[in-house]
Chain A
Amino acid sequence: MKKRVGKFISFFAALVVAFLIPFTTFAYNRLGTGKVSGGASGLLFYIDSSAYEYRHSIMYGIQYWNGHISTVSVYQTTNKPSSRCDNYWGSYFPANSTIIAETQLILNNQPTYNYNVDWYWCKIFYNQNIYKYEDGQGNGLSYFNRKGTACHEYGHFLGLAHVSTTACIMCQLGSGRTAGQPSNDDINGITAIYGS
C-alpha cells in the first residue's frame, strides 16, 4: 500500500511540473505583429541635452538589451538624424501624473497607429517630476529603477507590450516590477519578433 502511495505522489508531482513549466516560459506580450523596420541589430540611440544629467541610467538601461541575441543590439550616437531612439527629459506630464516615461513610435514622420505595420524610430520622454535622483523623501527613482524604465521603454520600441509578471522588465513599475533588465521571458519576446 505504501509503495502505491509513493508511486501516486511521484506521478502527481511529475504532473504538477509538467503543467507548470510550459506555461511560465512565454510571459511576454507583443504590441502587434509589427517590429522595428529593417530589424533591431546595430541600431543607434541619441540622448538629448535635456536628458544629459541622467545619461548613464538611460544609456545603460537601453544597452541592457545587448548581448542576449544576435538580432538585437543598440549603441549610442551623437548624430541625431541617424538615431532610431531619441531620449528627452522634461516637464512633459502634469503634476499628478504617475507616468515615468512614455514611448512614441514613429513611421514616415507620423505617429505609428497600427502596431501590425513596422515602424522606423521612436521618441522617449522622461518625466522630470519622477525620473530624477531619490531625495530621501520618497521622491525620485533609484538608479536601478531609472535604468529599468529606460530598458522598459526601449522594450516598447522593440515591439513588446506590458505584462503583469513582476520579474519581467515589461511589467510597469507601478504593477510591482522587480526586474532591472530583461528577463528570460522578455528575451523570449524579442526572439519571437526578430529571431535569434
Chain B
Amino acid sequence: MKKVKNIVIASTILITFALSGCNSSMASYKTKSMGDKEMLTENTVGNASSLANSSDFIPIIDEGNTRYFSWHTDRIRNYQSFDDLSSNAPAVVTGECIETTTVYKLHNIYTLSRICIQDVYKGDLHHGDNIWVVECGGRTTFGEYDYNCMVDEKEFENNEDRLPDDYQLVIGIDGFYPLKSGESVLLFLGDTSGFLPGVSDPLYDIIGDTDGKLYAQQDGTYRKASPSQTDHYVFDEGNLTISVEELESLE
C-alpha cells in the first residue's frame, strides 16, 4: 500500500514538473505560424520593445494608401514602472494633442506636436499651456520623405517599384508611432530645447522615447499601448497602467 502511495506521489510530482517545464520553456520560445510566415517569437511579459514580441504581430502593414514601418533600436534603458518614469521626468502632464507638424533634421523625420495641457502633476507648467513635444518618426508622403531624407542610390539596387509621390507613410520606432491630433495622453517629459534648429520655444521630449507616453482610457486611467504594425493601438491588460490617484501622489 505504501509502495503504491509512493509511486502516486512521485508520478504527481513528475507530471507537475514536466508540465510547468513545458509551459515556462515552450511558451518562451514557441513557433508561431501565420500563413506563410514561420517565426520564433518570445512570449515575455513586460518586454514591449520588440515587434516580434507582440501577440498581435501581423506581417502586412500596407493599409489602403498608407504604408507603416518601424525602425529597430538598441536602448540603454527601458522605463517600465510609474516610479521609474516619475522619478526621472522633470514634468508629468496630461493633455490633448491639438496639432502636429512633420519636420526634418539631418535627413531624418520627426513629429512636432502641440499639446494643450490639462493637468500638471509635476514640473513648472500650467493648465491651459500649449507646449511643443518632439518625437522621432512621423507622417508624410513618400515624395516628401524621398526629398527630405535623401536616401542614397546604391549600385546594387534595381530601384524598381518606386512608390507614388502621394503615397502616405507612417514611420515609427520599435512598433510605436508619433502622436496624432485629438489623442489624449499622459506624458512624462524632459527638456530638449535646441534640438530642432527652427524651434526657439521651449521644446520637450518624452522620457525613454515611447516609454513615457500613455493613452487615456475610458475608465479614467492611462495605459501604455502595445507595440503594433500600425498606429491603431491595442491596449493589453498587462501594459503599464497609471491611475489619477497615483498621479496625484506626485503633487
Contacts and interface: CB of A to CB of B under 8 A. Distances in A.
- Same assembly: yes
Interface in A8-44: 8, 12, 15-16, 19-20, 22-24, 26-33, 38
Interface residues of B, number: 77
Contacts of B159: 108-109
A29 B50 contact: yes
A156 B42 CA distance: 16
A76 interface: no
A86 interface: yes
A192 to B, nearest CB: 8
B130 to A, nearest CB: 19
B146 interface: yes
A29 B192 contact: no
Contacts of B8: none
Contacts of A16: 17, 21
B39 A33 contact: yes
A87 B72 CA distance: 14
A48 to B, nearest CB: 11
A101 B152 contact: no
Contacts of A20: 21, 25
A32 B38 CA distance: 8
- Mostly, the B contact residues are mixed
Contacts of B190: 95-96
Contact of A120 (B105, B154, B195): B154
A183 B68 CA distance: 32
A93 B73 CA distance: 12
A114 B59 contact: yes
Contacts of B156: 38, 82, 84, 120-121
A152 B25 contact: no
Interface of A: 8, 12, 15-16, 19-20, 22-24, 26-33, 38, 80-84, 86, 90-106, 108-116, 120-121, 125, 130, 141, 149, 152-153, 156, 161-164, 172-175, 192
Interface of B: 10, 13-14, 17-18, 21-22, 25-26, 28-29, 36-42, 44, 47, 49-53, 59-62, 67-69, 71-79, 105-106, 108, 134-136, 142, 145-146, 151-163, 169, 171, 173, 189-192, 195, 205-209, 211
